[in-house]
Amino acid sequence: MVDTKLFQTHKGAWLPAATARNAEQAPAYAFSAQHRLAQLAATGCLSRTFYATAEDQLDQVVALSNELDATFVAKTAIYARESGYMKDMPALLAASLAMRDVALLSQVFSRVIDNGKMLRNFVQILRSGAVGRKSLGTRPKKLVQRWLLTASEKQLLNAAVGSTPSLADVVKMVHPKPQEAWRAAWFAWLIGKPVDEAALPPITQAFERFKRESAQGLAIEVPDVPFQMLTALALTSAQWAQIARSGSWQMVRQNLNTFARHGAFDIPGTAKVVAAKLSDAQAVAKARVMPYQLMAAFKATVAAVPAVVREALQDAMELSLASVPSLNGRVVVCPDVSGSMSSAVTGHRGSATSSVRCIDVAALVAAAVLRKNARARVLPFEQEVVTLSLNARDSVMTNAQALARIGGGGTNCSAPLALLNRERAVVDLVILVSDNESWVDASRRGATQTMREWEVLKQRNPAARLVCVDIQPTATTQAAERQDILNVGGFSDAVFTMMANFAEGKMDAAHWMGEIEKVSLAPQ
């Protein structure tokens, strides 16, 4: 007679055995190569995270981009840039195409390398040898030349900010041959060659004039150049206020402490103008700002930043989440507040490391869902579910901060499902926001405990659906992809739309591949 404890008969669907081990060496399910590349491209940061080094992520992306069909890689690069608003990953995928299919690279180049920062990223990745070559090659060189020869003066000035490589390095590398006199003069000015100032385009002329006048104490009107080009000059508080008033939405959001340090907010009316800019609905939408970026700005602001400006950041947060849909039925959102979630969400970048942690983003997702779904239940978890009461009428920032203050303990992704099963709760949608590195509930064989608990819940709630939001990209999940389980990576507002579409049956579990395959390679 067989051992019935070892060979138990379970009700419900057959559960697949775990196929891999996660970073904690606990059982997990491996993603397909396409899913792994899509998730890395849409959420990866090429920086050291709690579980992976930057080198690990780079090796994975390069290996996957070489393994998969080049057309899929090209579409993934576009998706990561246009939908995920990523920088390093799209440039890396574009660079990999320079090795595999330069014709495809030509098709996608203008959509992926869409500004000077992306151009410099692309050149640096190619010349680093990371994708198998250390020179640009004929076709990539021509693509870089074309960008330089068609960019406006404003785009070129923005591109001139930054190094490794600098835009001057790029110009020296590819030797663009401009037809317009102003562009030829500008390139000469950029690389330090003698040039007739009168031949320069208007903004650059104004900058040169401003430098001379500043040295003489005569400068008044600040030229419309990237403010980083002005920081070496002795600017007055009034001039810093002018920069704050006229700057782009993103630039202002990123430099509030700089303005405060230089006395910009001491100039009457400046704080009010900046607050109005930050909380302008159209400006927020146009900036394509991610909610976590606003959280970063809010957390980073020093006491010298006026209260009206800090409040405007909270208003902008609410505006940035305007697209968060209302979810039908009984919704439970489960943010992971374990110890591993304390790492920076965009990885360790030395002095540039983000103050926003994975736990902050998980809390932000939970608070946003609660804001638009007042009856949603929030179950933060670590080794067990943590008891916490939240008010749906409080601001997203307030509730996110309350959740993020918990922190600590091991990771047990099945804990909230187990609690719902003990309560015999009626549920329509469960949203699990985690790094997926569950280990407290590790089983020796068979399915993960998350899958086991989910199947028990499904016996009571046959139509229920599970969404697993992975804050940092990994190669595994605790819940295997199937018709009622969606694995989604990232922290942009697109995640909320995907959750709603999945909950309403408008999207299948293979959403990454489906969304990427929809991408057209035709120039736009």
- Taking the C-alpha atoms of residue 21 and residue 27, their distance in angstroms, rounded to an integer, is 5
Residue matched to tokens 């057309």: 71
- Taking the C-alpha atoms of residue 227 and residue 243, their distance in angstroms, rounded to an integer, is 7
In DSSP terms, 469 is beta-bridged to 433, 488
The domain spans of the chain are: 37-199, 226-320, 325-517
Phi, psi values for residue 434, rounded to 5°? -155, 180
- Taking the C-alpha atoms of residue 394 and residue 398, their distance in angstroms, rounded to an integer, is 6
Write down the pTM of the prediction. Answer: 0.80
Which of 99-108, 279-288, 417-426, 487-496 has the least mean pLDDT? Answer: 487-496
Question: Checking DSSP bridges between strand 377-378 and strand 27-30, what pairing results, if any?
Answer: unpaired
46: left (phi over 0), alpha (psi -120 to 50) or beta: left
Computed on alpha carbons and rounded to an integer, the radius of gyration of the chain in Å comes to 25
- Taking the C-alpha atoms of residue 390 and residue 418, their distance in angstroms, rounded to an integer, is 21
pLDDT band at 335; cut points 50, 70, 90:
very high
- Taking the C-alpha atoms of residue 392 and residue 385, their distance in angstroms, rounded to an integer, is 19
Nearest CA-CA partner of 478 in 430, 420, 514: 430
What is the pLDDT at residue 352? 53
- Taking the C-alpha atoms of residue 117 and residue 98, their distance in angstroms, rounded to an integer, is 18
520 vs 45, higher pLDDT: 520
pLDDT band at 233; cut points 50, 70, 90:
confident
Given a cut of 80, whether residue 292 has pLDDT beyond it is no
What is the pLDDT at residue 491? 66
DSSP 467: E
**For residue range 464-489, what is the model confidence (pLDDT) as tens digits?**
999 998 887 677 889 988 889 988 87
DSSP 156: H
What is the pLDDT at residue 52? 53
Q: What is the 3-state secondary structure (H, E, C) of 317-342?
A: HHHHCCCCCCCCCCEEEEEECCHHHH
Given a cut of 80, whether residue 333 has pLDDT beyond it is yes
DSSP 208: H
Q: Considering the chain, what percentage of its residues have pLDDT values greater than 70?
A: 90
What is the pLDDT at residue 228? 87
DSSP 374: T
Two tokens, residue 375: 């009856």
Nearest CA-CA partner of 331 in 420, 441, 449, 438: 420
**Most confident range, picked from 178-187, 215-224, 326-335:** 178-187
**Most confident range, picked from 190-194, 350-354, 473-477:** 190-194
Instruction: Give the DSSP H or E segment for 62.
Output: helix 54-67
Nearest CA-CA partner of 259 in 289, 236, 278: 236
Q: Which CATH number fits domain 325-517: 3.40.50.720, 3.80.30.20, 3.40.50.410, 3.10.450.40?
A: 3.40.50.410
Whether 488 contacts 316, CB under 8 Å? no
pLDDT band at 7; cut points 50, 70, 90:
very low
SS3 500: helix
Phi, psi values for residue 212, rounded to 5°? -65, -45
First to last CA, the chain: 68
CB atoms inside a 10 Å sphere around CB 256: 26
Residue matched to tokens 């660079």: 95
What is the pLDDT at residue 48? 47
Which of 9-23, 66-80, 126-140, 331-345 has the least mean pLDDT? Answer: 9-23
Residue matched to tokens 């440039």: 91
What is the pLDDT at residue 47? 46
Given a cut of 50, whether residue 417 has pLDDT beyond it is yes
Which of 41-45, 181-185, 326-330, 341-345 has the least mean pLDDT? Answer: 41-45
What is the pLDDT at residue 488? 82
